[in-house]
Amino acid sequence: MEYRRLGSTGLKVSALSYGAWVTFGRQVGRSAARELIACAYDNGINFFDNAETYNAGDAERLMGDVIADLRLPRDAYCVSSKVYFGASEHPRPTQRGLSRKHVFDACHQALDRLRVDYLDMYFCHRPDPDTPVEETVLAMDTLVRQGKVMYWGTSEWPAEAIEEAHRIARERHLVAPSMEQPQYNLLHRDRVEREYAPLYQRYGMGTTIWSPLASGLLTGKYNDGVPDDSRLGHPDYAWLREALLENDGARLKSVRALAPIATDLGMPMSRLALAWCLKNPNVSTVILGASKLAQLEENLKALDAVPSLDGEAMRRIAEALG
Ligand code: NDP
């Protein structure tokens, strides 16, 4: 495993990490979750990603249960939570958003569900138009000073809102955000590569990137239809299926165009797609979302594939993506 600094912080995170979004508490039960976390940890993964909203808190409950059962040493792994969407299907007004109240309540609930005394990373899962950024920065600063959160960050915030948070933190001597959690993959690049470009140097922001395989699209498994036992085949994720397969299948066309490059490099599409994310030095960690052990074992091979993506391979990839 390779370890990278989380931006300019001193925290070293594994270049591949593991997240629980659709999987824990829905596709994956307790014994499979235990196998997946054990495999990840045994292979050097030290960051496990979660959020209050994932399966209405069940993903955090299951992860906390399994990590406690495996007796992973608390100082050897990092765990995150995210606040914004709430932890129930129909949250009341004070049970969602980034108000001081909900940021505090959600933190304490996540600590409880994950069975830990502190969160290594705590993300504002989206910007909240109803809460002044200053209120959220102050709440996060307090949680850090209380020792309940080590590093706080944002997820899918516009660059100017992140800059505003940094300005407020600098002026008021508060703890500034250390990392952002954006989507980044071969089919979704703009924000990480263009919009956030000034943030890495100027503020030392790290990135913990999500959906590196575009929910599995980049494995090629959806090229000939939607398998029943897949994420996009799940009835609760019809919205995701529509979002990813819209535009007359333009995304699938790109995936098909990339396939021969993977074949020539002697690797599956999934490995090529993950190695491509790892090649970006502004990516601190690539969060894997495998729902099966064999997928996770395969995805762990991506680090060894990075050197195969030389200039010629990168040129062919750029050409295939148009
Ligand atoms: P991916 O893009 O890697 O998608 C994961 C899905 O791809 C799996 O569930 C599986 O689908 C399929 N897959 C993975 N590996 C393979 C393989 N080798 N062969 C075939 N299929 C494979 O990641 P996620 O979208 O899950 O995102 C990763 C993590 O990022 C999440 O768990 C979460 O922690 C975080 N996240 C954060 C968000 C945010 O807003 N901050 C939003 C979304 C995710 P299947 O189950 O169909 O087999």
Q: Please check whether residue 180 lies inside any domain of the structure.
A: yes
Span from the CA of 173 to the centroid of ligand 1 (angstroms): 37
Strand partners, 287: 17
Q: Give the pLDDT confidence of 10-39 residue by residue, as tens digits.
A: 999 999 999 999 999 889 999 999 999 999
Q: How high is the pLDDT of residue 57?
A: 96
Q: Which of 17, 180, 213 to mutate to test the pocket of ligand 1 (most atoms within 8 A of CB)?
A: 213
Residue 322: the pLDDT is 86
Distance of CA 63 to the CA centre of its chain: 15
Which residue ranges have their beta carbon within 6 Å of ligand 1? 19-21, 23, 27, 49, 155-156, 181, 210-216, 219, 221, 230-231, 270, 287-291, 295, 298-299
As for how many domains the chain has, the answer is 1
* List of residues 6+ apart from 223 with CB closer than 8 A: 252, 255, 256, 259
CATH number for the domain spanning 61: value is 3.20.20.100
22 within a domain of the structure (yes/no): yes
Q: How far is the CA of 289 from the centre of ligand 1 (A)?
A: 3
Atom of ligand 1 nearest to the CA of 271: 18
> What local confidence, expressed as pLDDT, does residue 249 receive?
82
The pLDDT assigned to 129 comes to 98
Residue 54 annotated as catalytic:
yes
Q: How far is the CA of 147 from the centre of ligand 1 (A)?
A: 31
| Atom 29, ligand 1: residue with shortest CA distance | 19
Inside any domain, residue 247 = no
Domain assignment present for 264: no
Q: Which string of b and e fits 111-139 if b means at least 16 CB within 10 Å?
A: bebbebebbbbbbbbbbbeebebbbbbbb
Distance of CA 300 from the midpoint of ligand 1 (Å): 14
Question: How far, in Å, CA of 157 to CA of 137, rounded?
Answer: 14
Residue 161 lies in a domain: yes
Q: Are strands 285-288 and 16-19 parallel, antiparallel or unpaired?
A: parallel
For ligand 1, atom 5, name the residue with the nearest CA: 289
Residue 64 lies in a domain: yes
At residue 248, the pLDDT reads 65
* Residue having the nearest C-alpha atom to atom 32 of ligand 1: 19
Taking residue 45's Cβ as centre, other Cβ atoms within 10 Å add up to 24
Closest residue CA from atom 14 of ligand 1: 290
Q: For tokens 């000034």, what's the residue?
A: 198
Domain of 202? 3-215+281-303
Distance 313 CA to ligand 1 centre (A): 24
Q: What is the pLDDT of residues 220-236, one digit of tens each?
A: 999 999 999 999 999 98
Regions of the chain with pLDDT less than 70: 248
Catalytic position from the list 3, 18, 41, 54: 54
